[in-house]
Amino acid sequence: MANLYVGVSGLQTSQNALNTTAHNLANIGTEGYTRQQVSLGDRKYQLIDIKPAISHKQTGLGVAYVNCKQVRSVFLDASYRLESGRSEFYDISYETLEQVEDLLQEMNGAEFADNLTNLWTQVQEVAKDPTSAVNQAAFVNRCAEFVESAKAVYKGFVEYQENLNKQVKTLVDEINDIGDGIRELNQKIVAIESGYVEKANDLRDTRNSLLDRLGELGNITYEEDIFGNVLVNFEGTQFVLSDNVHHLGCDIEESPCNYYTVYWEYAAKRYEDEEGNTVLDISGAHVYDLTKTVSTQLNTDVGELRSTLLARGDHNATYHDITDDETGVYYNKNIAQSVIMNIEAEFDQMFHNIVSAINEVYENAASNPATLQNLKDGRATANPADYVMFNMIDDDDALIYDIDSDHTAGNNITGLTIVNTEVNEKLLQTPTINTFVTIEGEEDTAAATALKEVFTDARYTLNPNVATRIDLMEYYDALVAQVANTGSINKALSENQTITVNTISAAREQIVGVSSDEELEFMIEFQNAYNASSRFINVVNEMLEHIITSLGR
């Protein structure tokens, strides 16, 4: 009679194997699905007799459905998640540079370069006839156009930084949601598999998909404990534990622009100040050190979140970020690696150089006796510095963050930056207030020549890492070329990284993917095994019937 149970075990295991095969075929096009493989084995044998001289006498008890495992490569999974994170990093960098290039080249349908060229053209006209009221008025208007176009471009940079800042919050929320999702799946998987009977393979597929996405967002490492929990580290810090998730937080207190600083909530400290206000101290809880060099060897070029933070920077940069430290250490450590802050600082430096040099020319021209007498007529002051071309805006609300000489946060407005500069109202009202006439009544050719030299003297550099000096007419072209070259490099890196990810993905898919031909072979095999078990039961049944019938006679 026991032989019937041997046949039944064959029917049951074959049916379960057919169900697994059918499940594989049903999910052949399901994204993230991992094919499942059935393992069959012998049931324990029944010992009948022991003969030391020969083999033991045993009776088989049938076949057992040992396991239904996922077919995955741990190495390919880890490689895919690391390289996809690196791919996202360079994708963000390239997209940001594309946006910067668009902002530099186009502004409401007119290129900024046109306004710079128009300003230079008018400088040449003034040099030809500096005493012409028409030329002087046209130059003031060109200066006003130049300031407004520069403000518009810089405003575009700032608005893009704000958009990146919103993306930071979105990415942090997504990372936290993924962590919560992994922990919830851990609990479900452990509950199902704790009886060592069933495998929660579909839940494991969902968890693997979350790990894939988390790998795109940041640099992760992970391991599975003996209970089935996946424990995850994010950027070198414990993130998903067996019983908890360490969430990321966003704080704006460290940034003068209210930009988010990403920190670990569990590591932040809260205390009350002298006034009883709750203060959050995240100084020892930062997730990233963005001053580290971007390097593949150090894995500091991994993750969409890191790339977004680097692209955005932590403030709206000005020329102070370049010029206030002659060694270039501050620039290289805090500015150079940020796409937006680097271009803001270099662009503002160009603007500052132009307006400061023009102001110097105007101040010198206003110092000659003929102009001074003109200034005194009907005016309360004859200070030449009051009649320069550009002034700083008095409205504090118009100011955007500017670092001070110690590179600390503050609204220091020393020096002409794009956001705090406007054309002198006196010159807008009376463009000919500076006569460009010497005491002898002749044209002030020295002032006219100095005005041209503002644009033609090769005395400027883009940043501390560039040794070649260029003039202001070459500066903007060099700025755009730098963006284009960096964008080209990042595009090549992004494309190469995409190829790497696709190669690893294809290799992984060969292992985890479902092959219809292979599954159909398994289906035929298990169907034949089912039929064989059925025939075995029929044979045993006929044999028993024959024995019982014979005994009855």
Least confident of 1-5, 129-133, 368-372: 368-372
Q: What is the mean pLDDT of residues 341-368?
A: 87
Is pLDDT at 66 greater than 50 in this prediction?
yes
Run of H or E including 346:
helix 339-365
pLDDT at 407: 44
What is the band of 378 on the pLDDT scale with cuts at 50, 70, 90? very low
Counted residue by residue, the chain has a size of: 553
Could you tell me where the DSSP H helices lie in 38-132? Answer: 74-105, 112-128
In whole angstroms, how far apart are CA 514 and each of 29, 209, 346, 501, 518? 8, 17, 53, 20, 8
535-545 confidence digits (pLDDT tens): 988 998 888 88
- Please give the Cα distance from 417 to 402 (Å, whole number): 9
Reading the block at residue 62, the tokens are: 């049938």
pLDDT at 409: 42
71-93 confidence digits (pLDDT tens): 889 999 999 999 999 999 999 99
- Please give the Cα distance from 153 to 148 (Å, whole number): 9
Of all residues in the chain, the percent with pLDDT exceeding 70 is 88
pTM of the entire predicted model:
0.84
User: Rounded to 5 degrees, what angle do the CA atoms 405, 411, 413 make?
Assistant: 70
C-alpha closest to that of 208 among 178, 233, 235, 236: 178
CB atoms within 10 A of CB 324: 16
Q: What is the mean pLDDT of residues 512-517?
A: 87
Is pLDDT at 383 greater than 70 in this prediction?
no
Q: What is the mean pLDDT of residues 197-207?
A: 89
In whole angstroms, how far apart are CA 41 and each of 38, 57, 509? 10, 20, 28
First to last CA, the chain: 21
Is pLDDT at 219 greater than 50 in this prediction?
yes
What backbone torsions phi and psi does residue 496 show, to the nearest 5 degrees? -65, -40
C-alpha closest to that of 340 among 167, 164, 168, 169: 164
Dihedral through CA 255, CA 261, CA 264, CA 269, nearest 10?
10
C-alpha closest to that of 248 among 298, 205, 306: 306
In whole angstroms, how far apart are CA 341 and each of 162, 357, 405, 425, 518? 12, 24, 17, 31, 55
Q: Are 345 and 337 in contact (CB under 8 A)?
A: no
Is pLDDT at 371 greater than 70 in this prediction?
no
Higher pLDDT, 365 or 380: 365
